[in-house]
Chains A and B, each alone.
Chain A
Amino acid sequence: KAGVTQTPRYLIKTRGQQVTLSCSPISGHRSVSWYQQTPGQGLQFLFEYFSETQRNKGNFPGRFSGRQFSNSRSEMNVSTLELGDSALYLCASRLAGAPTDTQYFGPGTRLTVL
């Protein structure tokens, strides 16, 4: 069974631009979550989608948005990029909504904002 895939793996953008990251969950998984990881802050939760609906959101500004498609694939968009948005963006999928469901992470997209 294929794991979680994220594209692109690396991205370089300049301030003010916008970016879209993509995540394909493990087949059959309906929940997709997004995280930002930086050396100083560690992993921080962005949002979770389940069956095309956002069911939870972390404390990030509205510049960060996402969506999930009917095939469970998800995209995350960051508008008006800032230098501080440089980070590793991780996507994780879970089977459904059970609290003990294991999250499977993708390899991440490394975003650099110049």
Chain B
Amino acid sequence: KNQVEQSPQSLIILEGKNCTLQCNYTVSPFSNLRWYKQDTGRGPVSLTIMTFSENTKSNGRYTATLDADTKQSSLHITASQLSDSASYICVVRTGTYKYIFGTGTRLKVLA
């Protein structure tokens, strides 16, 4: 069964600290993996997309990694800011036009 699992479910950190969110998937065939940020009351916004051959991709303070062998991805946030408070969703595209979504990690950054 195609599944995407994210951990932790929720996370609270202090402003300025780093954090890492995890995404494990059992999806076949694999096409690409994307991380989204979703602010409360808004639609998700794409942060990074990674294909099978990519190991690391950065977008400002966000760095995503992908290990296709172990079927794991992580999203590392450096020097967190209050505006990073949001839900982060891992999405794996499989085959043709199908997306499997994780349930997300809710991050709260405190001043």
- Residues of A bordering B, CB below 8 Å: 4, 33, 35, 41-45, 48, 55-56, 90, 92, 97, 99-100, 102-108
Contacts and interface: CB of A to CB of B under 8 A. Distances in A.
Interface of B: 31-32, 41-46, 49, 51, 89, 91, 93, 96-99, 101-104
B57 to A, nearest CB: 12
Given A42-B102, A102-B49, A55 B97 contact: yes
Most chain A C-beta atoms within 10 Å of own C-beta, residue among B42, B46, B97, B102: B97
The prevalent SS among residues of B at the interface is: strand
Contacts of A43: 44, 89, 91, 101
Given A99-B31, A99-B32, A100-B51, A105 B45 contact: yes
Given A56-B96, A100-B32, A42 B49 contact: no
